[in-house]
Amino acid sequence: MIDKPLADTIALVTGAGRGIGAAAARALAARGAHVVLTARSSDELETVEDAIFAAGGSATIAPLDLTETDSIARLAAAVSDRWGKLDALVLNAARLGTLAAVPAIDQRELAQVLTLNVSAQAALIAAFDPLLRKSDAGKVIGLTSSVGRSPRAYWGMYGASKAAFETLLAAYGDEIENISKVRVAIVDPGATRTKMRARAYPGEDPQSVKPPEVVGERIAELVAAGFPVNHTERVAG
């Protein structure tokens, strides 16, 4: 039986409809957190919410497109009105885009990838920073990829977005280190059994890589145990 170290904790997970986001939401709820689930698909969110309720946890769904104008501001206002704080923000939502050589990158698609993977993440940090500061120990955990630090052929679009995302998170961590209790972590899940992974590696046996629950459990552990500012790690398995 898992203890409830996150009782009275409010956590928000983006991209919570499936994969790592869903697994993180379930793991956080199992430890007692009330989890706000966001993703574009209400059907997927309802499935995750049902699983959390069935396991004795609590959650609220908030279907939205993070790239739509004012969607993030509306979400932050709703969280503020209901709970007045945010204890954990898990930045998981991301778009892979088409794997292509840099000269062949479609500029419209590049803009779309950067909008979700970078601009929306900056907007989330800005919108929820005041609520994170109201927590006794606010935590921001961003999911990244090794291609953000080690460029790889045909991964230029996604890798560039993750490099920018990491820079944003690390800069934010430095900025708030000495003026708040908010702490920032960057987590590279490594090879994980997700739909994004299946798109990127269509010939791979999905059973050869770890399930998203391994990463979700690690995220919940970090939220429960805490970590130093600008903590980075790669999830083994």
Sheet containing 58-63: give its strands across.
Answer: 58-63, 34-39, 10-14, 88-91, 139-143, 183-188, 231-234
Q: What is the pLDDT of residue 115?
A: 98
Question: 61 forms bridges with which residues in the sheet?
Answer: 37
Q: How far apart are CA 18 and CA 89, in angstroms?
A: 17
157-177: burial string, b at 16+ Cβ within 10 Å, e else: bbbbbbbbbbebbbebbeebe
Question: 89 forms bridges with which residues in the sheet?
Answer: 12, 140
Please, what is the end-to-end C-alpha distance for the chain in angstroms? 23
DSSP notation for 116-130: IIIIHHHHHHHHHHH
Beta strand pairing call for 139-143 and 88-91: parallel
Q: How far apart are CA 172 and CA 161, in angstroms?
A: 17
| Type of residue numbered 192 | T
Q: How far apart are CA 110 and CA 129, in angstroms?
A: 27
Percent of the chain topping pLDDT 90: 97
Q: What is the pLDDT of residue 1?
A: 47
Around 54, how many Cα atoms within 13 Å sit in the side-chain half-sphere? 7
Contact between residue 226 and residue 137 where contact means Cβ atoms under 8 Å apart: yes
| Type of residue numbered 184 | V
Contact between residue 93 and residue 14 where contact means Cβ atoms under 8 Å apart: yes
pLDDT tens-digit readout, 153-212: 999 999 999 999 999 999 999 999 999 999 999 999 999 999 999 999 999 999 999 999
Walk me through the domains of the chain, giving residue ranges and CATH numbers. Answer: 10-234 (3.40.50.720)
Q: Which of 124, 137, 20 is nearest to 73 (CA)?
A: 124
The reply to whether 154 belongs to the active site is no
Which of the following is catalytic: 154, 158, 172, 201? 158
Per-residue pLDDT of the chain (237 residues; tens, 9 = 90+): 458 999 999 999 999 999 999 999 999 999 999 999 999 999 999 999 999 999 999 999 999 999 998 999 999 999 999 999 999 999 999 999 999 999 999 999 999 999 999 999 999 999 999 999 999 999 999 999 999 999 999 999 999 999 999 999 999 999 999 999 999 999 999 999 999 999 999 999 999 999 999 999 999 999 999 999 889 999 987
Q: What is the pLDDT of residue 2?
A: 58
| Type of residue numbered 208 | S
